[in-house]
Each structure stands twice: as C-alpha cells, then as structure tokens.
C-alpha cells in the first residue's frame, strides 16, 4: 500500500509541476509583439492620423529640410550615410508584410525599409509620401534582390536576377503617407 501511495504522490506532484509550468508561459503569439509604452502592436498596419496624412513609425523634426526625390538622386553621394527627409511618390510596397516600399523617378529607385519597426499598408502605391531615415548607397546581394522580387506586386522572372546590384536604400524611422489635399497644396 505504501508503494502505491508513494506513486500517487509522485504522479500528483509531477502533474502539478507540469501544469504550473504550462500556465506560466507567455501567451503571445510569434510576431504579435506589443510595444509596452504605447500598447500598439508592432505588426499593425495602423498609422497615426495627422493633419496632412497618416504617419507610420516616427515623425521627423519639423526643423529639418524636406528635399524632393529628384534632389536626393541628383546629390546621392552627398547624402550617402546621412539622415534625410525626402518627399516622393510610392511606386511599390512589399506585398507580404508591408515592410518596405520603393520610390522612383523612372530611372532611379530607392527602397525604403522599415526594418520591421513598423509596417505600411500594401495599397499605397501611387500615393505621395514623406520619408525620414538614413540614406545609403549600397550593394544588394543576389539573394536579397530575389527576396524583394518575391514580395513584389509585379515580380520578374527570378532567373533574370544575377549577382550583386548597386542600390539606393533608406533605413526609415518614419513614413508619412500624405493626404490628397496636402499633396495638391504642396505642388
């Protein structure tokens, strides 16, 4: 009788131990991170409504000069490695998560990366935006170029992407998608 009683005690103890460990685990799902300060989910595509548009990420210091996309590209070497505030048209957005967008003038393209700190709506192509972040002239690996292509709304044949490529990128702190009225008044 003592052996069976001892087995019941041990079994009960192990059961309670397993139950307490399973209930003490964090209940969040992967990718469902919550910013403690603002209680806003980092994987959210919700921006902050502002007078001139919707802000994703952080706003820029209003004392900073806003340059046009054309000015950025004309003086790319001068801006390399520096924080810029650039205004231009969104040409494409990552269709997987909204973690990058591109701006283009038809000749040059700049990839604006959110670094997964915030996410953009997938339907903002064609809209006007103001981006703040660090501009870099860089080389994009073949693997990264193929990865971006897979997330594109208009993917090319991946077999056509060969080797490293010169690229322009902005590691963005914030992106403000401008309202149509704000876009028209600034022209």
The first and second tokens of residue 180, run together, are 């149509």
* pTM for this predicted structure: 0.69
Task: Give 112's pLDDT tier (boundaries 50, 70, 90).
Answer: very high
Interval 130-179: pLDDT, tens: 999 999 999 988 888 787 877 776 767 777 878 888 899 999 999 999 98
Widest CA span in the chain: 91
Which pLDDT score is estimated for 44?
A: 57
Burial class of 1 by CB neighbour count within 10 A (0 to 12, 13 to 18, 19+): exposed
Higher-pLDDT residue of 179, 24 = 179
The answer to whether 115 and 173 are in contact (CB under 8 A) is no
Which pLDDT score is estimated for 154?
A: 72
pLDDT score of 187 more than 80: no
Domain boundaries, the chain: 48-185
Residues 6+ apart with CB under 8 A from 91: 101, 102, 103, 104, 109, 125, 126
Q: Which element (helix H / strand E) includes 167?
A: strand 165-178
The answer to whether 179 and 130 are in contact (CB under 8 A) is no
Interval 168-184: pLDDT, tens: 999 999 999 998 755 44
The first and second tokens of residue 23, run together, are 């209930």
Nearest CA-CA partner of 120 in 167, 176, 168, 41: 176
The CATH number given to 48-185 is 2.40.50.140
């Amino acid at each position: 009788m003592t052996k069976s009683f001892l087995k019941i005690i041990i079994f009960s103890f192990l059961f309670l131990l397993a139950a307490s460990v399973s209930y003490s685990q964090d209940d969040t799902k992967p990718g469902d991170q919550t910013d403690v300060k603002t209680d806003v989910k980092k994987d959210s595509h919700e921006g902050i409504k502002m007078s001139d548009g919707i802000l994703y990420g952080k706003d820029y210091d209003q004392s900073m000069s806003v340059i046009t996309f054309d000015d950025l590209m004309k003086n790319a070497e001068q801006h390399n490695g520096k924080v810029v505030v650039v205004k231009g048209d969104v040409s494409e957005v990552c269709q997987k998560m909204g973690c990058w967008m591109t701006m283009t003038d038809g000749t040059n393209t700049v990839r604006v990366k959110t670094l997964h700190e915030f996410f953009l709506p997938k339907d903002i192509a064609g809209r006007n935006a103001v981006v703040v972040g660090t501009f870099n002239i860089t080389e994009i690996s073949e693997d990264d170029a193929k990865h971006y292509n897979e997330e594109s709304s208009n993917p090319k044949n991946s077999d056509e992407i060969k080797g490293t490529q010169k690229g322009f990128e902005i590691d963005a702190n914030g992106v403000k998608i401008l309202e149509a009225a704000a876009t028209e008044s600034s022209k």
